[in-house]
């Protein structure tokens, strides 16, 4: 039991730290606290790419330096690519997500407005992790990570404090990724 706690605690802490750093970047970059799109703060991808990849290295107990550098390098690159792609179709994803959740007032949604972007991003990230870790159930990884990221955006919307919200989002990101990649 003790080793399981050790195995999971550091990855969750690293994902939480990445979420906190993402919130810090957003807080520094927004005007009057108005958040237009969390994915427009690309340094978040760098934080999650580096810290999230290190979390996976710890989780899978990888000790060879060459393999660690490969996972961190490709993982960070994958996070950046998956982060930027939703921005390319940001307008359409936003319109669809607001239209689908038409019955909920927009001011009540908070970060939940971006749920479709989180789904698209999570799906891309799940697919990237499937290729990086050579998993056979690629579709399983896509929907699990995508769904985990949607849940993260909706739960993060509950909190008024941006640092708490994005730290929890980071933890849920980590839970969804580790849940899909566990042995």
Could you give phi then psi for residue 31, rounded to 5 degrees? -100, 120
Residue range(s) defining the domain that contains residue 60 = 2-181
Residue 103 DSSP SS3: coil
Question: What is the pTM for the complete model shown?
Answer: 0.82
Q: What is the Cα–Cα distance from 162 to 122, expressed in whole angstroms?
A: 20
* pLDDT value of residue 94: 73
Residue 31 DSSP SS3: strand
31-40, 80-89, 144-153: least confidently modelled range: 31-40
Q: What is the pLDDT of residues 58-116, one digit of tens each?
A: 888 888 999 999 889 988 998 888 888 887 887 777 777 767 766 665 555 556 667 77
Q: What is the Cα–Cα distance from 170 to 180, expressed in whole angstroms?
A: 16
State the Cα angle at 19 between 146 and 99, rounded to 5°.
45
Domain count for the chain: 1
């Amino acid at each position: 039991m003790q080793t399981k706690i050790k195995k999971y605690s550091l990855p969750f802490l690293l994902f939480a730290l990445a979420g906190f750093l993402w919130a810090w970047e957003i807080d520094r970059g927004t005007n009057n606290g108005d958040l237009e799109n969390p994915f427009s703060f690309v340094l978040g991808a760098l934080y999650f790419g580096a810290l999230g990849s290190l979390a996976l290295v710890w989780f899978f107990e990888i000790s060879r330096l060459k393999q660690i550098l490969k996972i961190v390098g490709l993982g960070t690159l994958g996070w950046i690519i998956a982060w930027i792609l939703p921005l390319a179709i940001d307008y359409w994803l936003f319109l669809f997500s607001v239209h689908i959740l038409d019955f909920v007032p927009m001011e009540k949604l908070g970060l939940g407005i971006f749920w479709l972007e989180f789904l698209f991003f999570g799906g891309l990230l799940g697919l990237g992790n499937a290729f990086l870790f050579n998993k056979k159930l690629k579709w399983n990884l896509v929907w699990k990570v995508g769904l985990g990221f949607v849940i993260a955006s909706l739960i993060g919307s509950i909190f008024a404090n941006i640092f708490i919200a994005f730290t929890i989002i980071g933890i849920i990101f980590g839970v969804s990724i580790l849940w899909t990649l566990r042995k």
